[in-house]
């Protein structure tokens, strides 16, 4: 299957990164190189693009798409390890980083991956197919309490307890192996009158996917680490698709910016607060109405941008 992923908020990302032709840029979620193909167009032969992805299919597709460029490094890895990856490459600082979080259109559309509640497949949901933990393991081996907690916290599903209870009841009879089996359990757990806001399995599938791929817990530290490896004036652009991601990114940005607590009438700062730069987007950038119509998967997207700056001690 062709790795077809329409990049969300493309122009906003490219403008937000403020690309320098000779700079070093990291796409921490390379995918099919939708964003990266536009980043590299703005780089000179001295510039460098580092593409990181957990999905070997994505890396293969990106290599094909960017085959005419020699200044690209492809890394099979996790953006959570960005500091270690750059250290291994002997790169101290970069000029920009892009993180397009969440699952890609390709991963959703390739039914064999088990991400979608719209097609029957083996319960998998791994972004990195080399890892051991799968959705099938989560569904069949996590305790009822753990399942309920994950579905409630990561899926923001108010029927989490009954869904978890029914999963455990069904798996006691027979192991739950497929997405269709899980969808039917979820449908039977939610009152018909409450199944009016989108597909009833959407929130639970999101929750299990987040757990399988550990998408939330490391995110705050990932953002802080990404900011730390930016050169002066370098920018971090992050696209999120749900409130849990956005909350973690916003919190990391606010903490990285820091706040002076000195009285306003002092001519300079004496509180010695720590700042790594400034938030460029006080409010997140949202897709235009046109983009939302053209690409329905962009509807929940939010873009936040941070710029690395040494602390200015003057008010």
pLDDT digits (tens, 9 = 90+) for 165-196: 999 999 999 999 999 999 999 999 999 998 88
Q: Which among 105, 5, 8, 31 has a CA at the least distance from the CA of 300?
A: 8
pLDDT for 6:
81
Domains defined along the chain, listed by start: 10-102+217-308 (3.40.50.150), 112-213 (1.10.150.170)
- pLDDT tens-place string over residues 103-137: 877 777 788 999 999 999 999 999 999 999 999 99
Q: How far apart are CA 133 and CA 136, in angstroms?
A: 8
pLDDT for 269:
81
pLDDT tier for residue 289 given thresholds of 50, 70 and 90: very high
Sequence-ordered list of residues with C-beta below 8 angstroms from that of 221, at least 6 positions apart, any chain:
80
DSSP per position, 258-313: ----S-TT-SB--S-----EEES-SS-B---HHHHHH-GGGTT-EEEEEEE-PPP-
**Tokens matching residue 163:** 């869904």
Residue 306 has pLDDT above 70, yes or no: yes
pLDDT for 1:
45
Pairing between β-strand 94-100 and β-strand 24-27 as defined by DSSP bridges: parallel
Residue 155 has pLDDT above 50, yes or no: yes
DSSP per position, 101-113: -S--HHHHH-GGG
Stretch 60-80: mean pLDDT: 97
- pLDDT tens-place string over residues 207-224: 999 999 999 999 999 999
pLDDT for 2:
54
Asked if 232 and 307 touch (Cβ cutoff 8 Å), the reply is no
pLDDT for 260:
84
Residue 38: Cβ-neighbour burial (10 angstroms; 0-12, 13-18, 19+): middle
pLDDT for 248:
97
pLDDT tier for residue 315 given thresholds of 50, 70 and 90: very low
Q: Which helix (H) or strand (E) segment is 10 a member of? A: helix 10-17
pLDDT tier for residue 313 given thresholds of 50, 70 and 90: very low
Average pLDDT, the chain: 94
Residue 292 has pLDDT above 90, yes or no: yes
């Amino acid at each position: 299957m062709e790795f077809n992923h329409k990049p969300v908020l493309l122009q906003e990302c490219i403008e937000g990164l403020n690309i320098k032709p000779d700079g070093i840029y990291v796409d921490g979620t390379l995918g099919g190189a939708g964003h990266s193909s536009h980043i590299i167009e703005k780089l000179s032969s001295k510039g460098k693009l580092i593409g990181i992805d957990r999905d070997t299919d994505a890396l293969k597709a990106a290599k094909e798409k960017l085959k005419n460029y020699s200044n690209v490094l492809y890394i099979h890895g996790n953006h959570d390890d960005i500091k270690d990856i750059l250290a291994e490459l002997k790169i101290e600082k970069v000029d920009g980083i892009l993180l397009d979080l969440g699952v890609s259109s390709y991963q959703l559309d390739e039914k064999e991956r088990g991400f979608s509640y719209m097609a029957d497949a083996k319960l998998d949901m791994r972004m990195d197919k080399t890892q051991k933990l799968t959705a099938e393991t989560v569904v069949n081996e996590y305790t009822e309490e753990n399942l309920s907690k994950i579905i409630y916290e990561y899926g923001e599903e108010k029927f989490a307890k009954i869904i978890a209870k029914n999963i455990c009841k069904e798996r006691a009879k027979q192991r739950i192996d497929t997405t269709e089996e899980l969808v039917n359990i979820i449908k039977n757990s939610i009152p018909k009158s409450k199944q009016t806001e989108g597909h009833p399995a959407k929130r639970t599938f999101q929750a299990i996917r987040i757990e399988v791929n550990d998408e939330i817990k490391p995110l705050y530290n990932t953002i802080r680490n990404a900011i730390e490896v930016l050169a002066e004036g370098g920018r971090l652009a992050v696209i999120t698709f749900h409130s849990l991601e956005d909350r973690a990114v916003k919190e990391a940005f606010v903490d990285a910016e820091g706040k002076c607590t000195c009285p306003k009438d002092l001519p300079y700062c004496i509180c010695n607060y720590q700042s790594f730069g400034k938030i460029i987007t006080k409010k997140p950038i949202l897709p235009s109405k046109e983009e939302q119509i053209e690409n329905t998967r962009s509807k929940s997207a939010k873009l936040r941008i941070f710029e690395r700056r040494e602390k200015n001690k003057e008010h």
